[in-house]
Amino acid sequence: MIEKEIKDQILAKENLSKALEPNEDERKELLNKLETFCNNFIDQLENGKAYYENESPDRTKFAIDNQTYSFDHLLEIYTKEVLPHGVNPASGGHLGYIPGGGLFTSALGDYLAAISNEYAGIHFGSPGAVCMETELINWVKSIFGFPKTAIGNLSSGGSIANLIALNAARDSHEISSEKVKKSVIYLSKQVHHCIQKALRIIGLGESNIRYIALDEFHRMQSTDLEKKIAKDKMDGLNPYLIIASAGTTDTGAIDPLDEIANIAKANKMWFHVDAAYGGFFILCDSVKHKFKGIEKADSLVVDPHKGMFLPYGIGIVLVKDRSAMMHSNNYTANYMQDTFTNERIINPADVSPELTKHFRGLRMWLPLKLHGIQPFISCLEAKLLQTKYFLSLLKSHGFQTGIEPDLSVSYFWHEATNIENDLFNKQLMAFIHQDGRVFLSSSIINNKYVIRIAILSFRTKLNTIELGMEMILKARTKTLDFFKRSQNI
Ligand SMILES: Cc1ncc(COP(=O)(O)O)c(C=O)c1O
């Protein structure tokens, strides 16, 4: 009798939750709508804006209220409240910060990964998913000349990838809490701020941080590095970690990796390279030589959601010292006992803080297998050339530009007369943002307010650069007028 009651209740609840599994017709209808929506979105990118300087979205539209809405209505909310606000990272006109990408075929990989929901954390759960990710990591190792024995992980992005690598460095050098204050870490002021964040998160906030002098190309000066290490040793401190960049965020500079690698080796230190932005340019013959020495790094980070144009959500970390990588991350529990196998494949969950994670490999594997590697290389080569072209246009129109960049990030400013330079360029930036057809961001370099150009989107084309130039010239005219008027007042 009780069983009958329970069964009836179960069936009633199952009936009420039926909406969670749309039937085939319903699925087709939803997919058709989504397909039309996505096609329209992609088709309008070329003529749309890269930045919308407008009011915040109507937050009430996002509130969760236990009502049901049609898919059309929700797509309309997305169209009004999400898309036309802030930066449009899918646009080829996104030349600010470090642009993302959003390859269509990668999105298909995400869709397939989400539908099949393969468990990519542990080999036992999905040997196929874990093997696929392992092969991707092996490919990345081969690009950077890392040994087959190195291990890697697909993370959510560069910040977490750097965190994992720096954690391994700390564990490898056994920096226990008593040693933190005597330990020394060497980096440049140009490292991405996720490095400082990571150091704090892993308990190294109280270590000594030495900022190494930069040369005129914003690269770390290895002579200063050597000097500072020697002094710290003399002072009884424990220098153990050097963090270099292969493509800095501000200027795209590549530190002298080979020299730094040799210094690290001579001093028995861990050598980490953050190549989140610049790493994949190693595939381009024209700049490959600039990466010499990267193969000597103990750990390396590269971001496919930057240099491979994938949608946000994938970074890669490589570490040579297996036990260091495992030390903090490999932990077991009774409820995991079915997963203990003798497989020689590394479980992603044993080398990362994440246990359950999105099956990220598919979003990278699918485009690589569908398109091959060559289109990626050609696209990266195009970015280098587009940067050169943009800088040449800027110079010919009388702008000052940063030194010849190593990769595809540079900066410029207008040398103003009668007005303070920073004031002028801030106003110029404001007018550029107001226009929004091409999005640029600003920075402070050599104590000067500058406007950055970062070219990395696969959708940035020759005509995007020309449009950007036209937009900048228009904004400069407006800025000149603005100051003329304000001085007359
Ligand atoms: C050089 C560098 N390292 C790390 C990061 C952080 O990566 P993410 O934003 O994927 O966490 C960035 C982001 O732009 C970067 O340019």
- The DSSP line for 318-387 is EES-HHHHHHHH----GGGGGG----SSPPGGGSSS-SS---THHHHHHHHHHH-SHHHHHHHHHHHHHH
CA of 189 to the centre of ligand 1 (A): 15
Atom of ligand 1 nearest to the CA of 97: 14
pLDDT of residue 335: 79
**Which residue's CA is the closest to the ligand 1 atom numbered 5?**
158
Q: Are 452 and 411 in contact (CB under 8 A)?
A: yes
Read off the tokens for 31: 């997919």
In one letter, which amino acid is 221?
Answer: Q
CA of 277 to the centre of ligand 1 (A): 6
Q: How confident is the model at residue 342 (pLDDT cuts 50, 70, 90)?
A: low
Q: Are 198 and 163 in contact (CB under 8 A)?
A: yes
Given ligand 1 and candidates 94, 95, 98, 274, which is best to mutate, with the most ligand atoms within 8 Å of its CB? 98
Report the distance separating Cα 27 and Cα 263, nearest Å: 59
Atom of ligand 1 nearest to the CA of 161: 11
Q: CB burial class (10 A; 0-12, 13-18, 19+) of residue 52?
A: middle
Report the residue count for the chain: 489
pLDDT of residue 333: 78
Read off the tokens for 127: 């040997």
Q: Are 159 and 193 in contact (CB under 8 A)?
A: no
Interval 107-166: pLDDT, tens: 999 999 999 999 999 999 999 999 999 999 999 999 999 999 999 999 999 999 999 999
Q: How confident is the model at residue 407 (pLDDT cuts 50, 70, 90)?
A: very high
Percent of the chain with pLDDT over 70: 99
**Which residue's CA is the closest to the ligand 1 atom numbered 14?**
98
Percent of the chain with pLDDT over 90: 93
Report the distance separating Cα 42 and Cα 487, nearest Å: 44
Atom of ligand 1 nearest to the CA of 312: 10
Report the distance separating Cα 229 and Cα 237, nearest Å: 9
Report the distance separating Cα 72 and Cα 90, nearest Å: 22
Choices 3.90.1150.10, 3.40.50.720, 2.40.110.20, 3.30.43.10: CATH for 374-488: 3.90.1150.10
Farthest CA pair distance, the chain: 92
Atom of ligand 1 nearest to the CA of 162: 4
User: Going by C-beta distance under 8 Å and a sequence separation of 6 or more, which residues neighbour residue 200?
Assistant: none
In one letter, which amino acid is 46?
Answer: E
User: Going by C-beta distance under 8 Å and a sequence separation of 6 or more, which residues neighbour residue 308?
Assistant: 101, 103, 280, 364, 367, 376
Q: CB burial class (10 A; 0-12, 13-18, 19+) of residue 58?
A: exposed
Annotated domain spans of the chain: 109-370, 374-488
Report the distance separating Cα 297 and Cα 263, nearest Å: 11
Structure-model confidence comparison of residues 277 and 327, the more confident one: 277
Q: How confident is the model at residue 343 (pLDDT cuts 50, 70, 90)?
A: low
Given ligand 1 and candidates 195, 218, 301, 306, which is best to mutate, with the most ligand atoms within 8 Å of its CB? 306
CA of 299 to the centre of ligand 1 (A): 16
Given ligand 1 and candidates 160, 189, 272, 303, which is best to mutate, with the most ligand atoms within 8 Å of its CB? 303
Report the distance separating Cα 244 and Cα 368, nearest Å: 28
Interval 62-106: pLDDT, tens: 999 999 999 999 999 999 999 999 999 999 999 999 998 899 999
Report the distance separating Cα 168 and Cα 329, nearest Å: 9
Asked, colleague to colleague, whether 109-370 and 374-488 share their fold, the answer is no
CA of 303 to the centre of ligand 1 (A): 8
**Which residue's CA is the closest to the ligand 1 atom numbered 16?**
249
Report the distance separating Cα 318 and Cα 325, nearest Å: 9
As a whole number of Å, the end-to-end CA separation of the chain is 90
In one letter, which amino acid is 248?
Answer: T
CA–CA distances in Å: residue 261 to residues 79, 242, 271, 280: 49, 9, 6, 20
CA of 449 to the centre of ligand 1 (A): 21
Average pLDDT on 21-32 reads 98
Asked if pLDDT for residue 489 goes beyond 60, the answer is: no
CA of 158 to the centre of ligand 1 (A): 5
CA of 116 to the centre of ligand 1 (A): 29
The rounded Cα 403 to chain-centroid distance in angstroms is 24
**Which residue's CA is the closest to the ligand 1 atom numbered 7?**
158
Interval 38-70: pLDDT, tens: 999 999 999 999 999 988 999 999 999 999 999
Backbone angles phi, psi at 210, to 5 degrees: -110, 120
**Ligand 1: residues whose CB is within 6 Å?**
98, 157-159, 192, 194, 245, 249, 274, 276-277, 303, 315
Interval 2-17: pLDDT, tens: 899 999 999 999 999 9
What is the model's pTM? 0.96
Q: CB burial class (10 A; 0-12, 13-18, 19+) of residue 176?
A: exposed
Question: Per CATH, is 109-370 categorized as 3.30.450.20?
Answer: no
Structure-model confidence comparison of residues 436 and 345, the more confident one: 436
CA of 464 to the centre of ligand 1 (A): 24
pLDDT of residue 234: 98
User: Going by C-beta distance under 8 Å and a sequence separation of 6 or more, which residues neighbour residue 142?
Assistant: none
